[in-house]
Amino acid sequence: MFETLKPRPADSILTLMQTFKDDPRPNKLDLGVGVYKDATGLTPVMRAVKAAEKTLWETQDTKVYTGLAGDPAFSDAMIALVLDGAVPRDNVAAVATPGGTGAVRQAFELVRMARPEARVFVSDPTWPNHISILNYLNMDVVRYRYFDEDSRGVNFSGMMEDLADAKAGDVILLHGCCHNPTGANLNATEWKSVVDLLLKTGAVPMIDIAYQGFGDGLEEDAAATRLVASSVPECIIAASCSKNFGIYRERTGLLMAVSQHSAARKLHQETLAFLNRQNYSFPPDHGARVVTMILNDDTLRADWMAELEEVRNNMLGLRSQLARELQRLSGSDRFGYIAQHRGMFSRLGTTPEKVEEMRAKNGIYMVSDSRMNIAGLNAETVPVLAKAIIDAGI
């Protein structure tokens, strides 16, 4: 049997991680992996997470299954965090998932079950695993223009022109905030235009919100998701706790199916639970329970929000420092977009050859499409990166 298996294409980010590990240079710089790092290069456990885990260890008296949908209290807490009453709670079906990736995978499974012929419109570029999962499920993918290589902003006119081809029953995948891999985001006016287009075409929006709190703030980063959810007949939302709670390895996410008709919730909830059962049965609980404890305790929540603001402001500070240093070295403001982007990532919009040149000459590692993780920098390494970018002629 197994002799029929064929090698699969290597994951570019995982390959990059290994290459970085094998590089003996002491001053190498990892800007490829999508995790937050502090100034020392550590991805710390957040204070509120530590406190909640301590309480959990002291008080938890069973490890029995929670249920196919996970702990209902986790769903309630996350729905409140993401939607904050934008739609009635009774209109939202939800299940816990193994990370945001699990939520995305289950969302695509839901689409395939409900409408096998659906086309899924994805931004060009998008998170590579979106495409990988859709291809594995043999679903029809349509790319829409998103990133403008010249301005390093959003090609909004191209995006809207491409999305106008969507039809009722198609799905339009949108990034709720902090677009991965570009860092370029829609503004409030553009989001309203997207909602108008969704209402006109009848396409169903699916929002992947993996970085709430990393961009302009917890409330600000959720504004677009809330607008969409409250405006269209149906939508799908995949949320992740990996970044904003720093619990990457706990694999904690939530999938939501939102309808303007509360009568539909029962069927949607049963369907989501069925999908969980077919995949991994009961979702992991540790991370979900920690998140629930934090969000439902005023003291823990306040400390978590304060530390999350520290993380966000650190990334904004690094963006501003890098943009200023590049302006100083280049004598132009062509890198100003870096300060305007939001989240962990920015895309330089250069060639794989120049990315490879920076790796070979300077030990700077980023994804070949020039996506760099701003959180991989600190005040001392920003000038190193800026000089390498200028020396490479970017």
Whether 137 contacts 108, CB under 8 Å:
yes
Q: Using the predicted structure, report yes or no on whether residue 12 has a pLDDT greater than 90.
A: no
d(CA 17, CA 40): 18
Four-residue CA torsion sign, 382, 387, 392, 394 = positive
Percent above pLDDT 90 for the chain: 94
Q: What value does the mean pLDDT take over residues 294-302? A: 98
Predicted pLDDT of residue 227 = 98
pLDDT surpassing 90 at residue 16 = no
Query: Model confidence over 160-186: pLDDT tens digits?
Result: 999 999 999 999 999 999 999 999 999
| Percent of the chain's residues with pLDDT above 70 | 100
Reply yes or no on whether the pLDDT at 34 is more than 90: no
Q: How confident is the model at residue 352 (pLDDT cuts 50, 70, 90)?
A: very high
Say what the pLDDT of residue 9 is.
81
Residue 223 confidence (pLDDT): 98
Q: What is the predicted pLDDT for the residue at 10? A: 79
Give pLDDT, residue 129. Answer: 94
Question: What pLDDT is recorded for position 41?
Answer: 87
Query: Rounded mean pLDDT of the chain?
Result: 96
Q: What is the pLDDT, as a whole number, of residue 75?
A: 98
389: left (phi over 0), alpha (psi -120 to 50) or beta: alpha
Q: How do residues 151-163 score in pLDDT, each as one tens digit?
A: 999 999 999 999 9
Average confidence (pLDDT) over 87-102: 98
**DSSP conformation class of 45:** P
Task: Give residue 277's pLDDT band: very low, low, confident or very high (50, 70, 90).
Answer: very high
Of the candidates 199, 304, 320, 302, the one whose C-alpha atom is nearest the C-alpha of residue 260 is 199
171-175: strand order across its sheet: 92-98, 252-259, 234-240, 204-209, 171-175, 119-124, 140-145
Mean pLDDT of 71-96: 98
Three-class SS state of 222: helix
- Say what the pLDDT of residue 358 is: 96
What is the CATH topology of the domain spanning 65-296? Aspartate Aminotransferase; domain 2 (3.40.640)
Q: Is the pLDDT of residue 370 over 90?
A: yes
For the domain spanning 10-45+313-391, the CATH number is 3.90.1150.10
Structure tokens at 199: 């209402």
Asked whether 177 and 224 are in contact (CB, 8 A), the reply is yes
Query: Which pLDDT tens digit goes with each residue over 372-392?
Result: 999 999 999 999 999 999 999
What b-and-e string marks burial along 172-182, b requiring 16 or more CB atoms within 10 Å of the CB?
bbbbbbbbbbb
Cα–Cα distances (Å) from 341 to 73, 147, 214, 268, 289, in that order, read: 34, 12, 11, 36, 32
Number of neighbours of residue 315 by Cβ within 10 angstroms: 22
pLDDT bucket at 194, cuts 50 / 70 / 90 = very high
Pairing state of beta strands 364-365 and 252-259?
unpaired
What does the pLDDT look like over 307-319, one tens digit per residue? 999 999 999 999 9
Alpha helices in the chain (DSSP H): 12-22, 47-59, 72-83, 99-114, 128-136, 156-163, 188-201, 218-231, 265-279, 286-295, 298-330, 337-340, 352-362, 382-391
Provide the annotated active-site residues. 127, 208, 210, 243
Residue 192 CB neighbour total at 10 angstroms: 15
Domain ranges for the chain, please list them.
10-45+313-391, 65-296
pLDDT in tens, 234-270: 999 999 999 999 999 999 999 999 999 899 999 999 9
